[in-house]
C-alpha cells in the first residue's frame, strides 16, 4: 500500500507536515505502540480480569470508567480506565480527585497508588486513540487553558498513557489535597508545568526516548 493511502486509511500514522522523515517516525511510533500494546493486553489479560472482578465485588457499577478526553487533532474520544470510585462519582463531587476523597474505593485506592487503573488504556492504544508515550489526554474544560501556540504542537500527536509529566506529578492528588482551592491551583500551577513537559516531548520525541520514558515510569511506581 502506498504511503499516502496508508496515511489516509489510518489518521494515527498521518504525518504532521506531509510525507518525509517525520511521517515515517510516526509510522514507527504507531507500529511500536500497536505491537507492545497488543502484547501487553495478551500477557496481562488474567491480571486485568482479576482486577475487574475485584472492582465488581467491592461496589456495584461498571468495571471501566469512561470519560471524554481531547486527543490528536483536538478530536475527542472516550478513554478506558479501571473504575476507582463509586458509581456516578462525577455527580457527587468535583472533577479533580484529592487524596482522601471519600468517593475512592479501597480497591480503587490500591489501583491509583500503583497506576494500575491506567492499564485499560492499552485498549485505546490498539484502537489508535492513544500512544504508549505522549501528553496525557486532558478534559476539554482544561484544554482551553493551554496556550494557543502549544495546542497545535501538542495535538499533532496522539496522547499517551505516560510521559515525564506523569512521573513528575505522580503525587498530584497529595498536592491538591493540601490546597485550599484545588481547581485554581491545578489550572494556575500544575497545568502550565505539564504543558511545558508536553511541548518538550513533542519537539524532541524519538522511539528510543519513548522506551526510556516507559522504563522511568516503571521505576517510579516502586520508588
Q: Are 103 and 92 in contact (CB under 8 A)?
A: yes
3-state secondary structure the chain: CCHHHHHHHCHHHCCECECCHHHHHHHHHHHHHHHHHHHHHHHHHHHHHHHHHHHHHHCCCCCEEEEEEECHHHCEEEEEEECCECCCHHHHCCCCCCCCCCCECHHHHHHHHCCHHHCCHHHHHHHCCCEEECCCCECHHHHCCCCHHHHHHHCCCCCEEECHHHHHCCCHHHHHHCCCCHHHHHHHHHHHHHHHHHHHHHHHCCHHHHHHHHHHHHHHCCC
pTM: 0.87
Query: Would you state the pLDDT for residue 19?
Result: 53
Q: What's the pLDDT at 7? A: 43
Nearest to 122 by CA among 79, 61, 63: 79
| Beta-carbon contacts of residue 110 (< 8 Å; ≥ 6 apart) | 116
**Would you write out the chain's pLDDT as a tens digit for each of its 223 residues?**
443 444 444 544 444 445 577 788 999 999 999 999 999 999 999 999 999 999 999 999 999 999 999 999 999 999 999 999 998 888 888 888 888 899 999 999 999 999 999 999 999 999 999 999 999 999 999 999 999 999 999 999 999 999 999 999 998 988 998 899 999 999 999 999 999 999 999 999 999 999 999 999 999 988 7
The set of cell numbers assigned to 50 is 482479576
Q: Which residues, in sequence order, are bridge partners of residue 65?
A: 81
Extents of the domains making up the chain: 3-220
Amino acid at each position: 500500500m502506498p504511503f499516502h493511502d496508508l496515511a489516509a486509511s489510518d489518521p494515527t500514522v498521518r504525518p504532521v507536515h506531509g510525507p518525509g522523515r517525520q511521517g515515517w517516525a510516526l509510522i514507527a511510533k504507531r507500529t511500536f505502540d500497536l505491537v507492545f500494546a497488543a502484547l501487553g493486553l495478551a500477557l496481562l489479560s488474567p491480571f486485568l480480569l482479576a482486577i475487574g472482578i475485584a472492582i465488581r465485588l467491592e461496589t456495584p457499577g461498571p468495571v471501566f470508567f469512561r470519560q471524554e478526553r481531547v486527543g490528536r487533532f483536538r478530536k475527542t474520544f472516550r478513554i478506558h480506565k479501571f473504575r476507582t470510585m463509586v458509581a456516578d462519582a462525577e455527580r457527587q463531587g468535583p472533577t479533580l480527585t484529592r487524596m482522601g476523597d471519600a468517593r475512592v474505593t479501597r480497591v480503587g485506592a490500591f489501583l491509583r497508588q500503583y497506576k494500575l487503573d491506567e492499564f485499560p488504556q492499552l485498549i485505546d492504544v490498539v484502537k489508535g486513540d492513544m500512544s504508549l508515550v505522549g501528553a496525557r489526554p486532558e478534559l476539554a474544560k482544561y484544554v482551553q487553558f493551554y496556550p494557543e501556540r502549544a495546542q497545535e504542537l501538542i495535538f499533532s500527536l496522539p496522547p499517551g498513557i505516560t510521559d515525564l509529566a506523569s512521573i513528575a506529578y505522580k503525587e498530584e492528588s497529595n498536592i491538591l489535597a493540601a490546597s485550599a482551592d484545588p481547581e485554581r491551583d491545578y489550572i494556575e500551577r500544575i497545568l502550565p508545568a505539564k504543558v511545558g513537559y508536553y511541548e518538550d516531548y513533542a519537539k524532541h520525541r524519538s522511539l528510543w526516548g519513548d522506551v526510556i520514558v516507559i522504563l522511568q515510569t516503571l521505576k517510579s511506581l516502586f520508588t
